[in-house]
């Protein structure tokens, strides 16, 4: 086999291996699956669980301040959370994967909150266990959970939370589940 063919085959094998590594991921939760029960602490050390939101449409948003895509999306997600802050038909949880060292990630959240007030409840997934339960493999990753605890939508990657399509979708789900 000549060196050109060998180089081509080697490059192809490397490209296939990289593609498989980058695109392979566990399937995680699907639409229709029950959201896994969890209990995490908020900044005041209060335990907050999925069960606390039974009967409400719930947005569960996995993110971190060290995630560039998350921080690009943050202003829009935060504005969307502010839009629905006083709406009794919906609740928004940001589950942070910022846990680092001795501060368990709260220092990064506090720093961000000083720059731009966070408009949604933040919980800290210090060991990534809840993210694992959901099958989260990329940040940001967001689940819309029905009032009876079923996944009704899953978003992987940054979303345009203030687009007319997204606002219309969320408003329709709030109306649908508030009946």
pLDDT of residue 126: 86
**What are the average pLDDT values for consecutive 10-residue runs of the chain, which has 179 residues?**
70 53 59 95 95 96 95 97 95 91 78 93 93 93 97 96 96 90
If phi over 0 gives left and psi between -120 and 50 gives alpha, with beta otherwise, what is residue 24?
Answer: beta
**pLDDT reported for residue 101:** 57
Cis-peptide, bond into residue 172, ω within 30° of zero: no
Domains of the chain plus CATH, in order, are 29-177 (3.40.30.10)
Cβ burial, residue 167 (10 Å; 0-12/13-18/19+): middle
Instruction: Give pLDDT, residue 29.
Output: 85
Which pair of structure tokens corresponds to residue 81? 């959370």
pLDDT at 13: 58
* CA–CA separation, 174 and 178 (whole Å): 6
Taking the model in full, what pTM does it have? 0.83
């Amino acid at each position: 086999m000549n060196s050109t063919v060998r180089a081509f085959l080697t490059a192809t094998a490397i490209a296939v291996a990289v593609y498989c590594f980058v695109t392979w991921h566990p399937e995680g939760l699907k639409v229709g699956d029950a959201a896994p029960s969890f209990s995490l602490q908020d900044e005041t050390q209060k335990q907050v669980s999925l069960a606390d939101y039974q009967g409400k449409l719930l947005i569960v948003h996995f993110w971190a301040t060290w995630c560039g895509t998350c921080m690009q999306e943050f202003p829009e997600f935060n504005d969307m959370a502010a839009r629905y802050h006083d709406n009794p038909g919906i609740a928004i949880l940001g589950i942070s994967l910022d846990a680092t060292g001795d501060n368990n990630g709260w220092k990064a959240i506090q720093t961000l909150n000083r720059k731009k007030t966070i408009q949604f409840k933040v919980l800290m997934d210090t060991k990534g266990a809840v993210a694992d339960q959901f099958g989260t493999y990329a940040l940001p990753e967001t689940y819309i959970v029905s009032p009876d605890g079923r996944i009704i939508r899953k978003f992987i990657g940054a979303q345009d939370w203030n687009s007319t399509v997204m606002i219309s979708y969320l408003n329709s789900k709030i109306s649908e589940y508030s009946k």
